[in-house]
Amino acid sequence: MAWAVLIVSGFFEAGWAVALKLSDGFSRLWWTVAFAVCALISFAGLAWAMKQLPAGPAYAVWTGIGAALTAVIGMLWLGDGVSTIKLVSLGLIVSGVIGLNLAGGGH
C-alpha cells in the first residue's frame, strides 16, 4: 500500500510543478490553488509512505516520477522542446530509480 500511495504522490508532485508554472508566479488564482492542493497531497503522501519505506528509494521514486512526468507534460503540452538528449535523460532517470530499488531498499 505504501508504494501505491508513493506513486500517486509522485503524480501529484508533477501536478504541483505544472500548476506552479501555469500560476505565472502565483498571479493566477486557480492555478495557485491547484498548486497548493497538489503540493499538500503530494507531500502528505510522501510523508505517510516514508513511515513504512526506506528513505532513499522512496524519495527517488517520488522525485523521479515527478521530474519525468513534469518533463513529459512540458514537452507535450507546455511547448518545451523535445530532443534526443532529453528523451535519453528521462530514460536515465527511470533507470536510476529502478536501479536504486533493485539494489535493495531493505523492504
C-alpha cell at 99: 536501479
Please give the Cα distance from 34 to 47 (Å, whole number): 20
Tell me, what's the pLDDT at 105?
54
Asked if the model's pLDDT at residue 107 lies above 60, the reply is no
Judged on CB neighbours under 10 Å (0-12, 13-18, 19+), 3 is middle
Asked if the model's pLDDT at residue 106 lies above 70, the reply is no
C-alpha cell at 67: 521530474
Q: What is the pTM of this model?
A: 0.89
